[in-house]
Amino acid sequence: MDGTFKSTAERVKSFKDDEDPLLVELLFHFGRYLLISCSRPGTQVANLQGIWNKDIEPAWDASPHLNINLEMNYWPSLSCNLSECQEPLFDLIASLAVNGSKTAKVNYEASGWVTHHVSDIWAKTSPEHGDPVWAVWPMGGAWLCTHLWEHYSFTMDKDFLENKAYPLLAGCASFLLDWLIEGHGGYLETNPSTSPEHSFIAPDGKTASISYSSAMDMAIIKEVFSAVISSAEVLGRSDSDFIKQIKKALSRLPPTKIARDGSIMEWAQDFEDPEVHHRHLSHLFGLFPGHTITIEKTPDLCKAAVNSLYKRGDNGPGWSATWKMALWARLHNSEHAYKLIGQLFNLVDPDHEIEFRGGLYGNLFAAHPPFQIDANFGFTAAIAEMLVQSTEHDLYLLPALPQEKWAEGCVKGLKARGNITVNICWKKGELHEACFWSKNENGLKRLHYRGTVTTVTLSHGNIYRFNKQLKCMKTCLLKEGTFI
Question: What CATH number does residue 159 fall under?
Answer: 1.50.10.10
382 within domain boundaries: no
pLDDT in tens, 294-326: 999 999 999 999 999 999 999 999 999 999 999
Model pLDDT, residue 445: 85
Among 268, 287, 313, identify where a domain stops: 313
Model pLDDT, residue 481: 47
74 within domain boundaries: yes
Per the structure, the count of domains in the chain is: 2
Structural domain harbouring 414: 409-477
Walk along the chain (484 residues) in steps of 10 and give the mean pLDDT of each run.
78 95 98 97 95 91 95 98 98 98 98 97 94 95 98 97 98 98 95 97 96 98 98 95 98 98 97 96 98 97 98 94 98 98 91 75 88 95 98 96 97 95 96 90 83 88 89 71 47
3-class secondary structure, 272? strand
Residues 130, 260: one domain?
Answer: yes
Residues 432, 295: one domain?
Answer: no
Q: What is the CB neighbour count within 10 angstroms for residue 356?
A: 15
Residues 134, 265: one domain?
Answer: yes
Model pLDDT, residue 483: 45
11 within domain boundaries: no
Residues 301, 172: one domain?
Answer: yes
Q: What DSSP letter does each residue of 367-401 carry, written as one string?
A: PSSSP-SHHHHHHHHHHHHHHEEE-SSEEEESTT-
Residues 222, 99: one domain?
Answer: yes
Residues 163, 275: one domain?
Answer: yes
Q: Mean pLDDT over all residues of the chain?
A: 94
Among 313, 329, 350, identify where a domain stops: 313
80 within domain boundaries: yes
Residues 274, 421: one domain?
Answer: no
Residues 286, 420: one domain?
Answer: no
146 within domain boundaries: yes
Phi, psi (degrees; rounded to nearest 5) at 472: -70, 115
3-class secondary structure, 126? coil
7-30 burial code (b ≥16 CB/10 A, e <16): ebbebbbebeeebeeebbeebbeb
Residues 306, 445: one domain?
Answer: no
3-class secondary structure, 254? coil
Among 271, 289, 313, identify where a domain stops: 313
Model pLDDT, residue 352: 73
Q: Is the pTM of this model over 0.85?
A: yes
Model pLDDT, residue 248: 98
Model pLDDT, residue 79: 98
Residues 112, 226: one domain?
Answer: yes
348 within domain boundaries: no
Distances (CA, A) of 23 to 9, 289, 342, 361, 365: 11, 26, 11, 14, 13
